[in-house]
Amino acid sequence: MPQVEVMDGEFHVFLEHEMTKEHYISCFAYVTSNYAQFVKLYPEQNAECRFTRRGHGAVYAYCNRHGLYKVLV
Ligand SMILES: [Fe+2]
């Protein structure tokens, strides 16, 4: 599951997951009732990103093999 930490007014999102061309986290998304932010990831990158906090919602991570993970924030 993605790990979410609050750092300097942002959510730092990271996931222990392989990032090979065959199997990787292809995006993260942060969604609230009136806001969404999306970060595309590529193989060989780290599976992490930062989102500006806009209140409670959910953070999603998408694995190209295993599908969607969701964490409430
Ligand atoms: Fe996976």
Q: Write the DSSP string, 18-55.
A: ---SSS-EEEEEEE-SS-EEEEE--TTS-SEEEEE--S
- What is the pLDDT, as a whole number, of residue 51? 97
Please give the distance, rounded to the nearest whole angstrom, from the Cα atom of residue 45 to the centre of ligand 1.
15
Ligand 1 centroid to Cα of residue 60, in Å, is 13
Average pLDDT for residues 12-31, to the nearest whole number? Answer: 98
Would you place residue 28 in the very low, low, confident or very high pLDDT band (cuts 50, 70, 90)? very high
User: Own/partner pairs for 14-17, CB < 8 Å, 24+ apart?
Assistant: 14/46, 14/47, 14/48, 15/47, 15/48, 15/61, 15/69, 16/47, 17/47, 17/61, 17/63
What residues flank ion ligand 1 with Cβ within 5 A? Answer: 63, 65-66
Interatomic CA distance for residues 54 and 66, integer angstroms: 28
In the reported structure, the alpha carbon of residue 53 is separated from the centroid of ligand 1 by a whole-number distance in angstroms of: 26
Extents of the domains making up the chain: 3-72
Q: Model confidence over 32-60: pLDDT tens digits?
A: 999 999 999 999 999 999 999 999 999 99
CATH number of 3-72: 2.60.40.730
pLDDT reported for residue 64: 97
